[in-house]
Each structure stands twice: as C-alpha cells, then as structure tokens.
Amino acid sequence: MSDQIKVSDSEALEWANQLSDQDKVELKRQALLKRAIDLAQPNEGEPNWGAMDDQTFLRVRREKYGY
C-alpha cells in the first residue's frame, strides 16, 4: 500500500472521545498491550563501530559478544 492515510493527533483524540466507555476500556487495554510488547523487545541497535577508537572497540566487542 503506497498511499498511507495520515491521521492527525486531533483527529485521533476526537475519535477516541466519541467512543463508548466499554470501547475506551478496550482501547486502553490495547494500548497497554502494545506498550508491554514494546518494553519486552530489546532496543539494542548495533554500536557505531566506525566511530570507536581501538580500545573502545575491543571493550564493546568483548562486552557484547564475549571475545
């Protein structure tokens, strides 16, 4: 799908405010589930190896990979 539909924050808030109480509870549950999944995922990208001096490179490599 090359054309994504953009939704502004004000549109999302307006939509959420029109939900029933039961739907708001479900929306909150889904938001909590998404946040819990995000927190459970490791957020470690690869270090910037090229920006390190030799000593830092060796230390980070040892800490990250054990050799």
pTM recorded for the entire structure? 0.52
The answer to whether the CB of 42 falls within 8 A of the CB of 31 is no
The answer to whether the CB of 60 falls within 8 A of the CB of 52 is yes
pLDDT digits (tens, 9 = 90+) for 4-15: 889 999 999 999
User: For the chain, what is the mean pLDDT?
Assistant: 88
pLDDT digits (tens, 9 = 90+) for 15-35: 999 999 999 999 999 999 998
Q: Where are the domains of the chain?
A: 7-41
pLDDT at 45 over 80: no
Give the per-residue pLDDT at 47. 82
The answer to whether the CB of 61 falls within 8 A of the CB of 48 is no
CA–centroid distance for 49 within its chain: 23
Give the per-residue pLDDT at 58. 93
Q: Give the residue among 42, 46, 52 at the shortest CA–CA distance from 65.
A: 46
Contacts of 19 (CB under 8 A, 6+ apart): 27
